[in-house]
Amino acid sequence: MLAAVLLVSSAAAAEFPPNDQLLGAADDPLASLVEDEGDLRDALASPPSPAWLMGGLRASDPADRLAAIHSAAVPRHVSAIAPLAAEMLRMDEAPELRAAAATALGRIGDAVAAPSLGEALADPAVEVRYAAALALGRLPAEGAATRLSRALRADPAWYVRYAAVLALGRTRKGFVVPALEECLRLEPKWQVRMLAVRSLQDIGTPRAADAAAKALSDKDSGVRTAASLALADIGSDAHLQALSAALKVETDLSARTAHSAAFRKILSRP
């Protein structure tokens, strides 16, 4: 999904909340300690005790509170969920700290945090809603997709909707396809529609492929190209007619090339 994020234009990306406000310092000395599918940071991290965390979250200096939030963002550190959720939902706390708490809850990755993150999707600060949407996509929680689908339909900030689409794709669940299909019909921003196609590709079910095929008629050539790339991966003979029809009317060279390549790839399958 990272490739989808990189498709956002530089001008549009400038509208996103600054990542350093959401995630803290980008320079992580442990970032390279990855072995196979396990992250050695999980073994090296030492989560704070509940008493230490509570003390840090009550510190008068916002920098100390932010440090406490980051220290608690350890996978499966369930005892930190309640104090972090309380910090995230405090309307008198700075938005960047509430957003950091939402991000920390996503990194902990336990379904217990889902209701609080769902509440944060209604936060008045867009950076908090953005972080909450991304965090929900990392939780194995029933109902998370429903909350994200609501945000996708209703949030006024396009990059929150973008985060919701990204999170829905991360679920890899077939039942989110209708929400992504609706996004392709109604979403005004091409960036979000393109990511919806990529999320459908990640889900990979026949119904997801059918929804991606509908994007072959999108008004944006980049979205049409993404639709063909998705069909080349998850499409079937049932989509050859749609690709053929798209080729007959396509005027964009990149999209035509993608349509043709997808058509040939599907035909070559045994």
Pair of tokens at residue 176: 């989110």
User: What does the alpha-carbon distance between residue 4 and residue 213 come to, in Å, rounded to a whole number?
Assistant: 18
The answer to whether the beta carbons of residues 254 and 221 sit under 8 Å apart is yes
Pair of tokens at residue 254: 């990149």
Over residues 91-140, the pLDDT tens digits come to 999 999 999 999 999 999 999 999 999 999 999 999 999 999 999 999 98
* pLDDT band per the 50, 70, 90 thresholds, residue 45: low
257 pLDDT above the threshold of 70: yes
Give the range among 31-35, 179-183, 240-244 with minimum mean pLDDT: 31-35
Could you give the domains of the chain? 48-147 (1.25.10.10), 172-270 (1.25.10.10)
**HSE toward the beta carbon, residue 262, CA cutoff 13 A:** 34
The answer to whether the beta carbons of residues 231 and 197 sit under 8 Å apart is no
User: What does the alpha-carbon distance between residue 84 and residue 101 come to, in Å, rounded to a whole number?
Assistant: 6
Q: What's the whole-number mean pLDDT along residues 50-61?
A: 93
Cα angle vertex 199, ends 156, 122, to 5°? 30
Give 237's contacts (C-beta < 8 A, 6+ positions apart).
266
Q: Report H helices in 172-205.
A: 177-186, 190-203
In this prediction, what percent of the chain has a pLDDT beyond 90? Answer: 75
Could you tell me which residue, 32 or 126, shows the higher pLDDT? 126
Q: What's the whole-number mean pLDDT along residues 69-96?
A: 95
Over residues 203-250, the pLDDT tens digits come to 999 999 999 999 999 999 999 999 999 999 999 999 999 999 999 999
- This prediction has a pTM of 0.79
